[in-house]
Amino acid sequence: MLIKVRILSAQKFIGDFEADEVVLPGKTGQIGALNNHTGLFTALDIGLVRMKFKGKWIPVIVSGGFAEISRNRIVVLATGTEEFEGVSLKKATEELNEAIRAFTNMEITPEKSSFDLSVDLKKATAQLLALNYLSLNSL
C-alpha cells in the first residue's frame, strides 16, 4: 500500500504525491516513514522531504514547518519551500561552499545574524542533496 503525501506552505500548494517511503527533516533528526507507520506529529527543520516512488526519489526543500503521519497519509505544512529547478550542480556547490565559509568565519553583519548563517547553510545543503537525488533518478 502506498503512502499519500500532501505538501503545502503558507504561500502555495506544492502537490499531492504517492510514495513507498518518505523521509522528513525532523527537528531532532531524519524521520523515515513506511507503510502503516504509527501516528506522529512533528516539527520540521529546514531540509529535504524526500519521497521514493517506484524506485525514483522526489525531493522537496522545506523551510521548517510541521508534519502529521496518520493512516498511510502524511501532511506537510511547510513554513516555506525552496525552488531548486534549473540550479546547476556547480552553482549549488558554490552556494554551499560560500555558506560554509560564511558560517565558519561567523561573518555576522547587521543584515545577517548567526541564525541567518545557519539557515543559509541548511538551505544550501538541502539544495545540493536534492540535486543528488535527482541525479540518482537518471541512473
> Tell me, what CATH number does 63's domain have?
2.60.15.10
pTM of the predicted model over 0.85: yes
Same-domain check for residues 112 and 67: no
Average pLDDT taken over every residue of the chain = 91
Residue type at position 38: T
Show which of 61, 82, 103 is a domain's final residue. 82
Residue 29 is predicted with a pLDDT of 94
Domain that holds residue 117: 89-137
Residue 51 is predicted with a pLDDT of 96
Same-domain check for residues 96 and 38: no
**Looking at the 3D structure of the chain, how many domains does it have?**
2
- Beta-sheet strands, E only, within 1-139: 3-9, 13-19, 21-26, 29-33, 40-53, 56-70, 73-78, 81-82
- Indicate the pLDDT class of residue 88, thresholds 50, 70 and 90: confident
42-71: per-residue pLDDT in tens? 999 999 999 999 999 999 999 999 999 999
Same-domain check for residues 63 and 97: no
